[in-house]
Amino acid sequence: MARTNFGSKLGIIAAAAGSAVGLGNIWRFPYELGQQGGGAFLLVYILCVLLLGLPIMLAELLIGRMGQHNVTGAFRSIGHPRWRFIGYAGVLCSFLIMGFYCVVAGWTIEYIWQAITNQFADKSTADLAAAFADFSTRPIRPIIWMVLFVGITCYVVLAGVQNGIEKSAKILMPVLFVLLLVLCLRSLTLPGGLEGVAFLFQPDFSKITPEVVLSAMGQAFFSLSLGMGCMITYGSYIDKKNNLEHTALQVTGLDTLVAVLAAIAIFPAVFALGINPAQGPELVFITLPNVFAHIPGGYIWAIAFFMLLSIAALTSTISLLEVITAFMNEEWKLPRRKAAIIASCTIAVLGVFASLSLGLLKDYTIAGMSFFDLLDNFTAKFLMPIGGLAIAVFCGWVLDRKRMEAELSNEGKLKLKYLKVFAFLLKYITPLAILAIFIDQLM
Ligand code: PFF
């Protein structure tokens, strides 16, 4: 059976960028950056994107389009069935990410509600922080939003690749982009905002520690949806005429741009309003409502922002659920409907525990972490980089170079500009850098 393809070039980029751009850019990136030394983190992050993210993005799209199957099936169909293990790890990783990601996505729905009911007006930073702490530790309310979010994701995935994923991403991502630009302008012009610019762009090199480097690497994998087969799955829906080199560059570039814009929208405001930059996961949920209070028409901006943030999260959760659904459908021969529903129910159960681990169950920790933090750290700082390492080794050392070239050049039709650089990175630099970062942790 022929696979459904993404309909157009813009559709491919919108879908892949929709997967990459999400809570990782707007929620996770700023709070990691705030906790891990500002500019120093940003610098290491950009290096990770260039040396690890970009080559692995291309490698995944390549494997996917060559294989025309789900994450495990792709390796089998290109004649390397042993490397299927990357796919199994990827499916597991998708479940684990979904387990906490949907909780945060649920928070964005709560914040749409709070924006509509005008709950940010006249609140001080302390009030906003208290309101967030109160909401996120409640037993029921965040779970209802999380379940709703999982349900919406499941619905869109069942509506089919082309209709569901592509259409929504194509329209809404550019709107989010414009809104972020407006927020950047406001944040930069707040009195005292320049301190935030310095925090971001004047790196203090003494702050670069092994922990900062590991976090930046994890963030790069997480933000670009790499190391767990998401881009392999999406690559399998890309038609044979697409220029994968361009697609990889564009998606990586857009994702990084959105992360940097989110940081510029947030940090000047953080300093102007006297918020602690190392606040943690609540940073965005405290800072931006505060900024909206300082914008003319802030009421409307706030609603628009949290709606778009939810949608950005949705285009990411869709891609995560698609990894699992395509796998169960093709490997286990379950109908797509059944696969998506079973996966969604499992995810909702993980989500319940992740959400409760911030409140009711906060005394139960694993390796000193709440279940929520465990899911987050284990996927971003371990599973995804390990998956990325395996993918780089596979492309650099195992996959026949001629086949790789033929696939990337669309059987000789395209002139490849960067093949040599990519091949070199994938063979030596990317795997060695990931290994070095891990070894550095153990020392
Ligand atoms: N890249 C997404 C984000 O930055 O929000 C998160 C993500 C989506 C990770 C899809 C992994 C994935 F497969």
Query: How far is ligand 1, taken at its centre, from the CA of residue 402, in Å?
Result: 31
Residue 415: Cβ-neighbour burial (10 angstroms; 0-12, 13-18, 19+) = exposed
**CATH code given to domain 9-442:** 1.10.4160.10
CA proximity to 185, closest of 290, 291, 276: 291
Instruction: Identify the band that residue 99 occupies on the pLDDT scale cut at 50, 70 and 90.
Output: very high
Three-state helix/strand/coil letters over 67-103: HCCCHHHHHHHCCCHHHHHHHHHHHHHHHHHHHHHHH
Ligand 1 atom nearest to CA at 223: 4
Whether the Cβ atoms of residue 195 and residue 38 lie closer than 8 Å to each other: no
Domain assignments of the chain as residue spans, ordered by start = 9-442
**What mean pLDDT comes out for the span 98-127?**
94
Instruction: Identify the band that residue 1 occupies on the pLDDT scale cut at 50, 70 and 90.
Output: very low
Whether the Cβ atoms of residue 29 and residue 260 lie closer than 8 Å to each other: no
Query: How far is ligand 1, taken at its centre, from the CA of residue 216, in Å?
Result: 15
- Quick one: pLDDT at residue 8? 74
- Quick one: pLDDT at residue 174? 84
Query: How far is ligand 1, taken at its centre, from the CA of residue 378, in Å?
Result: 14
Dump pLDDT digits (tens) for 32-72. Answer: 999 998 999 999 999 999 999 999 999 999 999 999 999 99
Instruction: Identify the band that residue 4 occupies on the pLDDT scale cut at 50, 70 and 90.
Output: low
- Quick one: pLDDT at residue 2? 47
Query: How far is ligand 1, taken at its centre, from the CA of residue 97, in Å?
Result: 8
**Residue 9 pLDDT greater than 90, yes or no:** no
Query: How far is ligand 1, taken at its centre, from the CA of residue 60, in Å?
Result: 14
Quote the mean pLDDT of the chain. Answer: 92
Instruction: Identify the band that residue 165 occupies on the pLDDT scale cut at 50, 70 and 90.
Output: low
Which string of DSSP letters, residue by residue, matches 387-422?
Answer: HHHHHHHIIIIIS-HHHHHHHHTTTTTS--SSHHHH
318 vs 170, residue with greater confidence: 318
**Residue 173 pLDDT greater than 90, yes or no:** no
Element spanning 16, H or E: helix 9-20
- Quick one: pLDDT at residue 163? 62
Closest CA to ligand 1's atom 10: 225
Q: How far is CA 10 from CA 14, 23, 218, 250, 332, in A?
A: 6, 22, 28, 11, 32
Closest CA to ligand 1's atom 12: 225
CA 78/CA 30 separation, integer angstroms: 39
Dump pLDDT digits (tens) for 178-217. Answer: 889 988 998 899 899 999 999 999 999 999 999 999 999 9
CA 42/CA 319 separation, integer angstroms: 26
Ligand 1, CB cutoff 6 Å, lining residues:
19-20, 22-25, 97, 222-223, 225, 228, 230, 316, 319-320
- Quick one: pLDDT at residue 162? 54
Residue 121: Cβ-neighbour burial (10 angstroms; 0-12, 13-18, 19+) = exposed
Query: How far is ligand 1, taken at its centre, from the CA of residue 325, in Å?
Result: 16
Query: How far is ligand 1, taken at its centre, from the CA of residue 412, in Å?
Result: 32
pTM above 0.75, yes or no: yes
- Quick one: pLDDT at residue 156? 87
322 vs 11, residue with greater confidence: 322
What whole-number percentage of the chain has pLDDT above 70?
Answer: 97
**What mean pLDDT comes out for the span 96-122?**
96
Structure-block tokens of residue 443? 């020392």
**What mean pLDDT comes out for the span 269-296?**
89
Q: Which of 7-21, 100-114, 280-294 has the highest mean pLDDT?
A: 100-114
Q: How far is CA 155 from CA 3, 92, 216, 337, 345, in A?
A: 20, 21, 33, 9, 13
Lowest mean pLDDT among 42-46, 161-165, 281-285, 286-290: 161-165
Which string of DSSP letters, residue by residue, matches 287-334?
Answer: HHHHHHTTSTTHHHHHHHHHHHHHHHHHHHHHHHHHHHHHHHHHHS--
Mutate to test the pocket of ligand 1, among 71, 261, 316 (most ligand atoms within 8 A of CB): 316
CA proximity to 291, closest of 281, 282, 301: 301
CA proximity to 211, closest of 377, 337, 13: 377
Mutate to test the pocket of ligand 1, among 29, 48, 225 (most ligand atoms within 8 A of CB): 225
Q: What residue has token string 């082309």? A: 162
Q: How far is CA 39 from CA 173, 256, 275, in A?
A: 27, 15, 17
Ligand 1 atom nearest to CA at 313: 5
Ligand 1 atom nearest to CA at 29: 4
Instruction: Find all residues with CB under 8 Å of 356, minimum gap 6, and list them.
Output: 139, 143, 371
Ligand 1 atom nearest to CA at 323: 13
Query: How far is ligand 1, taken at its centre, from the CA of residue 116, in Å?
Result: 27
